[in-house]
Structure 1
């Protein structure tokens, strides 16, 4: 029962609801675009919202076990600064996600405000029973490890995204030809259990759990940790691109652990420790820049073609998933009939209402033959997403 009450207090925090609204709006925009562009949504379920709850709770549980196992301690003042900056970033930057940047800025703001907090806000907080923490190395090391938890969670999301829906967005290039962009933008707010000093929560809510280590008392708080990333590709298969980016985030998560260990065994000032968090944030930006650079220097475009029809998406749970097809493949023949447009493709499908036979050229320029059963009388439910025919 106490666990449920702790979770209830997590759910009333503004960052959770702002994140949920932002996630819902992104999912609704995707579904509307797909229905407008492809006549029906590739996946009408709001997967982003489902992931917000399902993945958020699972990853949050794992993160809480790690955080409490390591005894990570945070300052209540820093929590307020972090949540405020996170909410502002979600509101004023509608088309991007900056979790790592917000995390780094929160520590920079906490460091910059610390002199005034010590003389003013700390006194007010202590009158209400809130124990504040000085800007010591132990607190910042905890912050470094919390950042590592967020980076690891992002790596897991990217890895899983490679196996899930990839929604194509059609864009014109400089020559007026249609190309496809695949964008990954998933936002989570993880409930990460951390320790905060004092028993001020217990004095207000008598059921709130309190732990005592030596002479110091600690309460558990579910920190809403903003997790996610916004990335896109034009010239890579999205599954491979997200997995490659996932490896970069795993390396950064490992680096945060190494830096925390180094800081623990050495005597670094808080200023240098905040510099280590800044170094990790810089590593995130470098990883995203490398991702964009690698994509720009690939030769292959997911573009419209004059020979055949390009596969730009595959709907889940349809007969198309049984075909040996991949994003970027070009269908040359359908039921032994040459096709050069979406209309010709579906006309050829109607010639065999229960079975489809395809001749395909993959991105390696190899010719393959694939076939499968389809729904009787429903060729549009095959599940292959193609460039829609342009109107004259």
Structure 2
């Protein structure tokens, strides 16, 4: 009972530390701005809103808190040895990396770089005696890199689980330029979560309380322990033109969980055998890059899904709460006929809807290739195309050009590059 009371008390003190930590609020602002930009893009492309900024922001914060608490509990039994100076150095490296690419704002890269530097500096005699950078070098040499790699591994396992559960919620339909200038449909999956961590760290002479269990990494808490609160940002960005958003999210989640498990094993091995530190640090970066490369390679080998068929017009998205959503029309189904009128191009939709302005009958080819029949009354004020967003054709006014982004281009809203189909220039 005393241990539980001490845990609650120190957890409360760490929570107060989090509330005054500016990085946590920077993460929240980043997410709100990112979701706002995504919703603005949806309005530009489709003249409607597919997501709610308030709902998605609250959901993200809630799952970030739940995830942070879960990781904190796990790390209590793993055991880590962190220093405040090490955390500051991680943030500095992450901010430098984001100048090259936004996606490098991830602990896998910053911890990997520190691990490689640690392995190199460890074998250089008296590297910490250099007058200008000696203290920083000594800090890197003294770092417990296996503990940081374990933290990276556990966070990526959490990220994979969150993507599996929530990754498809913020999927945005897009018009994209494929090979040879062809305009096709696709989805961007993009989620970020601010994760507040409460790490159990040892103190020297800070308390006479000791933990009643041994940690996996053997960190000694006999002389005292406390919680240290610090926020991290986890998230992912993926693009698919050949899968349903939920399938792409599950595939990405599986790869990230596998990455986390492999890195966890190498990090624990590095704790018990120091030559493995360099190997684990290199794998932290290399495997992360391999996931991105493999995902892009898979997409390049598959046939685009969101293109029109000789059987009709392909559904790219369905507006929530619309007549199409009520009728059960799903993404990647094909609208074959409306009111008995066969659809050959987008202009046929308006013609077919005018046959019966107050009522419509649809023949839809489902994902299994079977015809299903739907019907519904049309009321005044409802979406003129029932809330169906169709895959683009070559007459689409705008398309999105995806490009790697560094921080400055990201701040100029060029991470997602909206272009006119007539001029090919960014808008």
Q: TM-score range, shorter-chain basis?
A: 0.7 to 0.9
Q: Does 1:229 align with 2:232?
A: no
Cα deviation for residue 33 of structure 1 reads 1.0
Cα deviation for residue 331 of structure 1 reads 0.9
Cα deviation for residue 300 of structure 1 reads 3.2
Q: What residue number does 1:257 align with? A: 264
Q: What residue number does 1:179 align with? A: 184
Whether the 8 Å contact between 2:339 and 2:355 is mirrored in structure 1 is yes
Q: Does 1:190 align with 2:195?
A: yes
Whether the 8 Å contact between 1:107 and 1:274 is mirrored in structure 2 is yes
Counterpart pick for 1:297 among 284, 301, 304: 301
Q: What residue number does 2:108 align with? A: 100
Unaligned runs of 5+ in 2: 1-8, 211-219, 398-421, 423-427
Q: Deviations over 1:180-201 (max 9, x none)?
A: 231222222311221334369x
Q: What residue number does 1:285 align with? A: 289
Cα deviation for residue 312 of structure 1 reads 0.8
Q: What residue number does 1:242 align with? A: 249
Cα deviation for residue 65 of structure 1 reads 0.8
Once residues 91 and 211 of structure 1 are traced to their aligned partners in structure 2, the CA distance between those partners, rounded to angstroms, is 44
Q: Does 1:161 align with 2:161?
A: no
Q: Does 1:336 align with 2:340?
A: yes
Whether the 8 Å contact between 1:315 and 1:383 is mirrored in structure 2 is yes
Counterpart pick for 1:268 among 269, 273, 293: 273
What TM-score do you get using the length of structure 2 for normalisation? 0.74
Counterpart pick for 2:370 among 364, 367, 378: 367
Larger deviation, residues 331-340 vs 243-252: 331-340
Q: Does 1:50 align with 2:58?
A: yes
Once residues 371 and 228 of structure 1 are traced to their aligned partners in structure 2, the CA distance between those partners, rounded to angstroms, is 39
Whether the 8 Å contact between 1:353 and 1:378 is mirrored in structure 2 is no
Cα deviation for residue 71 of structure 1 reads 2.4
Counterpart pick for 1:384 among 379, 385, 388: 388
Once residues 345 and 262 of structure 1 are traced to their aligned partners in structure 2, the CA distance between those partners, rounded to angstroms, is 62
Matches within 5 A, 1:129-168: 135=142, 139-168=144-173
Q: Deviations over 1:91-115 (max 9, x none)?
A: 6534775442233224345566776
SS in 2 for 1:185: strand
Matches within 5 A, 1:3-152: 3-45=11-53, 49-90=57-98, 93-94=101-102, 98-109=106-117, 135=142, 139-152=144-157
Whether the 8 Å contact between 2:32 and 2:53 is mirrored in structure 1 is no
Whether the 8 Å contact between 2:167 and 2:190 is mirrored in structure 1 is no
Cα deviation for residue 323 of structure 1 reads 4.1
Once residues 162 and 325 of structure 1 are traced to their aligned partners in structure 2, the CA distance between those partners, rounded to angstroms, is 21
Once residues 89 and 314 of structure 2 are traced to their aligned partners in structure 1, the CA distance between those partners, rounded to angstroms, is 48
Cα deviation for residue 243 of structure 1 reads 0.6
Once residues 374 and 110 of structure 1 are traced to their aligned partners in structure 2, the CA distance between those partners, rounded to angstroms, is 68
SS in 1 for 2:304: coil
Cα deviation for residue 27 of structure 1 reads 1.0
Query: Structure 2 vs 1, CA of residues 284 and 19 (structure 1 numbering), >3 Å: closer, same or farther?
Result: same
What TM-score do you get using the length of structure 1 for normalisation? 0.79
Q: CA RMSD in A?
A: 3.7
Larger deviation, residues 155-164 vs 101-110: 101-110
Cα deviation for residue 134 of structure 1 reads 6.5
SS in 2 for 1:216: coil
Cα deviation for residue 283 of structure 1 reads 1.7
Query: Structure 2 vs 1, CA of residues 47 and 350 (structure 1 numbering), >3 Å: closer, same or farther?
Result: farther
Q: Does 1:315 align with 2:319?
A: yes
Query: Structure 2 vs 1, CA of residues 176 and 276 (structure 1 numbering), >3 Å: closer, same or farther?
Result: closer
Unaligned runs of 5+ in 1: 126-131, 203-208
